[in-house]
């Protein structure tokens, strides 16, 4: 089994979430993880991931927690209004995302503060589950580049595949049986030193966002053992 990983203390509500999510995820899918050595055991870090199913945060939370870190997700603020779940996400110090409102910038400020505190932040730059029929990443928002450029923390690409086989939102299919396999592959931190030396601009933010999501897409191609498409899917397609 190997030696146990010392867990970062996350408080009562993180413990509650772990008690629920660990058995639930194991029931629906077996796991295969690669590249876990790239996740730092301590200190601030930004993990950049693809998004294919509403189950992703649950599986990604368990994956990260098993590596001894407490994940802090940027999640839709509407979750804070859901009975019980709202209490859990607030108690576990998740980061509410307000889109299209005066509070939108507060989301990024909270993520900046989390990184400055030495916490591990997980971000899905696509903003929602991909609409690409084949599950490849879409064009992404540039907030991830702002976070990556403004903090001297590891920026780590990762891809996960298999959750859509369990729950496919757009096709309205929930198929927990037979038990599926969810694979997570983590890449080495991306060297952004050359980009950090440049004046921040809209074009730079777009460039860095595409660099990071390009790494994620390549990891996903490795998991799927098939070539990735050129560019990124557009929701306008």
pLDDT per residue as tens digits for the range 6-23 = 566 666 667 777 788 889
Which of the four pLDDT bands, split at 50, 70 and 90, describes residue 179? very high
Cα–Cα distance between 81 and 84 in angstroms, integer? 9
Radius of gyration of the chain (CA): 17
Q: For residues 88 and 17, is the Cβ–Cβ distance under 8 A?
A: yes
Which of the four pLDDT bands, split at 50, 70 and 90, describes residue 83? low
Q: Say what the pLDDT of residue 3 is.
A: 42
Sign of CA dihedral 125, 126, 130, 136: negative
Number of other CB atoms surrounding residue 100 within 10 Å: 6
Q: Where are the domains of the chain?
A: 12-224
Q: Which of 126, 121, 93, 119 is nearest to 108 (CA)?
A: 121
Q: Which residues contact 78 (CB under 8 A, 6 or more apart)?
A: none
Which of the four pLDDT bands, split at 50, 70 and 90, describes residue 45? very high
| DSSP secondary structure of 40-68 | -SSS-EEEEE----TTHHHHHHHHHHHTT
Unique residue bearing structure tokens 């929930």: 174
Q: For residues 121 and 45, is the Cβ–Cβ distance under 8 A?
A: yes
Which of the four pLDDT bands, split at 50, 70 and 90, describes residue 2? very low
CATH 3.40.1130.10 fits 12-224, yes or no: yes
Which of the four pLDDT bands, split at 50, 70 and 90, describes residue 147? very high
Q: Which residue has the higher pLDDT, 232 or 75?
A: 232
Whole-number Cα distances in Å, 27 to 151, 202, 227: 38, 44, 31
């Amino acid at each position: 089994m190997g030696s146990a990983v010392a867990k970062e203390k996350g408080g009562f509500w993180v413990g509650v979430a772990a008690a629920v999510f660990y058995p639930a995820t194991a029931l629906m899918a077996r796991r295969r993880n690669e590249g876990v050595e790239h996740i730092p055991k301590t200190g601030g870090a930004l993990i950049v991931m693809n998004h294919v199913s509403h189950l992703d945060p649950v599986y990604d939370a368990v994956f990260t927690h098993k590596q001894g870190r407490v994940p802090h997700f940027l999640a839709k603020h509407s979750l804070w209004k859901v009975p019980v779940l709202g209490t859990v996400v607030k108690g576990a110090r998740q980061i509410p995302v307000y889109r299209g409102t005066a509070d939108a910038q507060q989301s990024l400020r909270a993520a900046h503060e989390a990184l400055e505190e030495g916490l591990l932040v997980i971000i899905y730059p696509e903003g929602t589950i991909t609409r690409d029929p084949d599950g490849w990443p879409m064009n992404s928002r540039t907030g991830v580049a702002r976070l990556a450029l403004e903090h001297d923390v590891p920026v780590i690409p990762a891809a996960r595949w298999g959750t859509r086989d369990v729950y496919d939102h757009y096709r309205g299919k929930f198929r927990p049986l037979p038990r599926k396999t969810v694979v997570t592959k983590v890449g080495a931190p991306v060297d952004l030193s050359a980009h950090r030396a440049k004046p921040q601009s809209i074009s730079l933010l777009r460039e860095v966002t595409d660099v990071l999501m390009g790494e994620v897409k390549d990891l996903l191609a490795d998991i799927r053992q098939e070539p990735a498409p050129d560019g990124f899917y557009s929701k306008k397609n």
